[in-house]
Amino acid sequence: MSTTSLFFTAAGVGLAIAAPIGPMGMLCIRRTLTGGPRAGLAIGFGIASGDAAYGLIAALGLVGISQFMLAYDRPLHLLAGLFLLYLGVRALLQKPSAALANGAAGHGHGDGRLAQIGRAGALRAYASALLLTLTNPQTVIMFAALFTTLAPRGAFSPAIALTTVGGVFAGSIAWWCFLVTVVSLARHAIGTKLRGAIDRMVGLMLAVFGVVEIRRAL
């Protein structure tokens, strides 16, 4: 398999991994609705970066790191579950007007202070998504199996590893860009009340995902 073919095959895998709507997809949708496309893309890049980090660990055969993460699988699931539960409960308790005001601030046309707040919020969204993605060390196992399948037998090298990781990252980013674009278009088309109802529904689903993660850890 050529390098180009390997890259596009890995990109297809990355797209397939990212596409199912799970807790991270719900989080991306909510942040796009309340904070605009910048917040949603920050979430998407955080998720893709976390997947790429785990993919690189698996690709380079960093056994010590992967074994350490897998050894603490339960505490990490507990941490992820508590964080998702917190995000869900906060979304349910937050007044719709406050959530929409936060979104308006991200799209403000005022002074530079508002623009700076938007960038800081995007960085926080990126960091939270990255950390939440890294609390699922079983991703290492998935990527290890992926590399075993894609890499030519006996020809695995750092260059092939980086090509595969880059392809997975590109495919994942393509999905998050598509999702954010669709939600952003809907965000401007739907009314305030419906947007608030969707926000609460997504908050409820995040809370449910959090409870499921906590049960996995116990």
pTM, entire model: 0.76
The predicted-structure confidence for 98-151, as pLDDT tens digits, reads as follows 555 554 444 444 433 323 337 788 898 899 899 888 887 667 777 777 766 766
Domain that holds residue 27: 3-73+99-188
Considering the domain boundaries, does residue 180 fall inside one? Answer: yes
* Residues in the chain, pLDDT under 70: 1, 61-70, 95-117, 137-138, 147-148, 150-156
Considering the domain boundaries, does residue 194 fall inside one? Answer: no
Considering the domain boundaries, does residue 152 fall inside one? Answer: yes
Considering the domain boundaries, does residue 36 fall inside one? Answer: yes
Element holding 186 (H helix, E strand): helix 158-189
Considering the domain boundaries, does residue 94 fall inside one? Answer: no
**Helix/strand/coil for 56:** helix
- Distance (Å, whole) CA 166 – CA 174: 12
Which residues lie closer than 8 Å to 196 by C-beta, 6 or more apart?
Answer: 96, 99, 100
Which residues lie closer than 8 Å to 178 by C-beta, 6 or more apart?
Answer: none
Alpha carbon 53 to its chain centroid, in Å, reads 13
Considering the domain boundaries, does residue 104 fall inside one? Answer: yes
pLDDT score at 182? 93
pLDDT score at 65? 62
pLDDT score at 18? 84
- Distance (Å, whole) CA 41 – CA 31: 9
Domain count, the chain: 1
Considering the domain boundaries, does residue 156 fall inside one? Answer: yes
Considering the domain boundaries, does residue 164 fall inside one? Answer: yes
pLDDT score at 114? 28
